[in-house]
Structure 1
Amino acid sequence: MAASLDGLVLAPVADQAPGQVGTRTRFTYHEQDGGIWAEYAGGDVARGYLVGTREGDRLDFRYVQLKQDGGTSSGHCVSTVVELPDGRVRLEEAWQWESQPGSGTSVVEQLTGPAGRPAD
């Protein structure tokens, strides 16, 4: 199992469709006793939250977000935690909107440097 996500900052490696998460979005993850949650914002997303569970290297969570244009949306995501050769974390995600039509895949990776590392 990959290391804890607690305190890590991750960002998408590519932009999604307009009005969604993109490369300027930052996710700050928290993890405790099998629970996983994060706050996120940036780009077209004014504020977002995700909450769910982790079993081994599998995350299963729901997300809800407020877009810059005032719209809201929500969905479900299942992610696989992958440890990269340089020690950073990658999440390989399969998601589906619940508030609107659409689904897809995405990848978020831990940022390098102090912003992506937990405080000592």
Structure 2
Amino acid sequence: MSIDYDGRSFRNTGYPPGEDAPVGHYRHEGDLLWARFDGGPVRRGSLNGLVAADGKLEFTYTMVLADGEVVAGRCWSTPEILADGRIRLNERWERYGAGASSGESALEEVLT
């Protein structure tokens, strides 16, 4: 499954509709992926990584939260095409440092 992520935006599904949530604005060129994101508790974030031939993503991320915490980690995302044609990214992530943790989350494409 070849996916072009360039120019797409994705919103964290862990927030109710209408609530301020982190939204990422993705760029994609060749196998390189990068994005900026903010919203909800995230003042500013960025990611850099790779897109595999099957559309899976592997990247590192950094972000500054509203409370001043600086966070860094790594993420692996598997794309899923939803019935309406949008992309859902099913993520497995790990966070490093004092607040080290790991978990799973999902992002869904925001159509503009």
Given the two structures, how large is their TM-score scaled by the length of structure 1?
Answer: 0.83
**Match of residue 64 from structure 2:** 66
Structure 1 residue 58 displacement after superposition: 1.2
> How far, CA to CA, are the matches of 1:41 and 1:76 in structure 2?
17
Corresponding residue for residue 39 of structure 1: 36
Query: Aligned-residue CA RMSD in angstroms?
Result: 1.5
Structure 2: segments with no counterpart, 5+ residues: none
Could you tell me how far apart the structure 2 residues matched to 1:33 and 1:78 are?
Answer: 18
> In 1, distance between residues paired with 2:24 and 2:72?
16
Contact 2:64-2:70 at 8 Å conserved across structures: yes
Q: Distance in 2 between matches of 1:71 and 1:88?
A: 32
Tell me the percent identity: 32
TM-score (normalizing by structure 2): 0.89
Runs ≥4 residues deviating over 3 A: none
Q: Which amino acid aligns with 1:72?
A: V
Unaligned runs of 5+ in 1: 16-21, 115-120
- Inter-partner Cα distance in structure 2 for 1:2 and 1:92: 16
C-alpha contact (below 8 Å) 2:3/2:55 kept by paired residues: no
